[in-house]
Amino acid sequence: MLRYEVRMSPAATPVRRQLHTPPVDPSPFPHHPGSLLSASDLSLEGVSHILDRATALENMDPLLRDRILAKRRVALLFYESSTRTRTSFELAAKSLGADTALVSSLSSSIEKGESLKDTGLTLRALGAETIILRHNSSGAAWLLEAETRLPILNAGDGMHEHPTQALLDLRTILAHLRAGLTTVTAETLAGVTVMIVGDILHSRVARSNMLLLPRMGARVLLCGPKELLPELAAAAGPGITVERDLEAALRQSQVVMMLRIQAERLAGLQLDLDEYKAKYQLTGPRLATHAPRALVLHPGPIIRGLEITAGVADGSQSAILEQVRNGVAIRMAVVERALSAAPKQGGRA
Ligand code: CP
């Protein structure tokens, strides 16, 4: 309890007042039940529902699927470049019959200095019922939700989160290790080690996977140099450990997730790329010797010859293009979820 004395003018009667520090409320986000801001927004039941719907929608007759969100309005707001996420969200929304509008920072009034808030409110006034946002600032999706109260789908915010990537990674892992199971529990990935290699510090993909996979019993093994993987990362949550030696990590893992070095986020950090490749590049001989049956994943974009060799990226253990395909199914389920919880006229939730 905080106590302080209020000083009054001499004429006034001195009073002693007490301030009570209120308990910290749980996060008010997401405001909207259709939003997906963080991998931690979802219960395991919610994850199972998305996995289940992804499979159902993928297998549905396209002519029937096309009616599910017919004429609903989906805005894609992209402040950063993207190939996989943007295209798969757009294809997913269109596959369900929705009308989509893409706003990117390079061809819109954002270039003239319009704020995220005003851009979001403008999209809402134009009839957008959900906004899919990629932004270079961590937390941008939360701000957009607070300002528009629309269901917001976080398509990557700075160095923070990329929840649909974690869901599509999970779908890929389940397809290979659990025969495409769609109902997940706290034991579904017991005994599975997923190693994530490279630029963990700047990776929203790593963060969302670290929030999602251990809840199903997976062990997440982080691997990389100190500059890109602070020791503190092991304290990020239960089931997360650090292993600096790539070959030792490979020997323990059933899934190997490689990450790109994010040159755009290194901000002056000096990294010797030859040394990095010598220690952390996933090569054919390394994989064959230390993890000959492991599943190889990469969220992309891939820099062939840096974090992964072309032979491994195109090899029989790679499920990289399968991840891309899973992105469409997962995003159909996530867009449907956003709009089934949204008011029809795009009003406040
Ligand atoms: N995985 C991913 O977010 O890729 P893009 O940047 O191409 O969307």
Q: Specify the CATH number for the domain of residue 276.
A: 3.40.50.1370
Residues 168-177, buried b or exposed e (16+ Cβ, 10 A)? bbbbbbbbbb
Residues 140/167, Cβ–Cβ less than 8 Å:
no
Is 19 inside a domain boundary? no
d(CA 229, CA 220) in angstroms, rounded, equals 14
Could you identify the atom of ligand 1 that is nearest to the CA of residue 87?
Answer: 8
Tokens of 10: 């001499």
- Domain identity same for 332 and 318: no
- Domain identity same for 189 and 175: yes
Is 49 inside a domain boundary? yes
Residue 77 in this model has a pLDDT that exceeds 70: yes
> How many other CB atoms are there within 10 angstroms of residue 258's CB atom?
25
| pLDDT tens digits, one per residue of 128-186 | 999 999 999 999 999 999 999 999 999 999 999 999 999 999 999 999 999 999 999 99
Average pLDDT over residues 269-281: 90
pLDDT of residue 19: 58
| pLDDT tens digits, one per residue of 305-330 | 999 999 999 999 999 999 999 999 99
Q: How many residues does the chain have?
A: 349
Residue 41 in this model has a pLDDT that exceeds 50: yes
In which band, very low, low, confident or very high, does the pLDDT at 24 lie, cut at 50, 70 and 90?
A: low
- Domain identity same for 122 and 218: no
pLDDT of residue 11: 46
Q: Is the peptide bond preceding residue 23 cis, with omega within 30 degrees of 0?
A: no
Domains contained in the chain, number: 2
- Domain identity same for 152 and 168: no
Ligand 1 binding pocket mutation candidate from 77, 78, 83 (most atoms within 8 A of CB): 83
Query: 205 CB contacts (<8 Å, ≥6 apart)?
Result: 162, 165, 166, 169, 257, 259, 299
Ligand 1 binding pocket mutation candidate from 79, 82, 161 (most atoms within 8 A of CB): 82
In which band, very low, low, confident or very high, does the pLDDT at 31 lie, cut at 50, 70 and 90?
A: confident
- Domain identity same for 234 and 264: yes
Is 259 inside a domain boundary? yes
Q: What global pTM score does this model have?
A: 0.90
- Domain identity same for 218 and 276: yes
What's the CA-to-centroid distance between 5 and ligand 1, angstroms?
55
Is 26 inside a domain boundary? no
In a 3-state reduction of DSSP, which class is residue 192?
Answer: coil
- Domain identity same for 225 and 143: no
- Domain identity same for 185 and 285: yes
Range of the domain at 319: 163-325
The number of helices, as runs of H, and strands, as runs of E, in the chain is: 12, 11
Pocket around ligand 1 at a 6 A CB cut-off: 82-86, 156, 162, 165, 299-301
Residue 253 exposed, middle or buried by CB count within 10 Å (0-12, 13-18, 19+): buried
Measured by CA distance, the residue closest to atom 1 of ligand 1 is: 299
pLDDT of residue 9: 44
- Domain identity same for 129 and 202: no
Could you identify the atom of ligand 1 that is nearest to the CA of residue 165?
Answer: 1
d(CA 318, CA 284) in angstroms, rounded, equals 11
- Domain identity same for 125 and 176: no
Amino acid identity for residue 163 in this structure? P
- Domain identity same for 117 and 217: no
Could you identify the atom of ligand 1 that is nearest to the CA of residue 155?
Answer: 3
Is 75 inside a domain boundary? yes
Residue 265 in this model has a pLDDT that exceeds 70: no
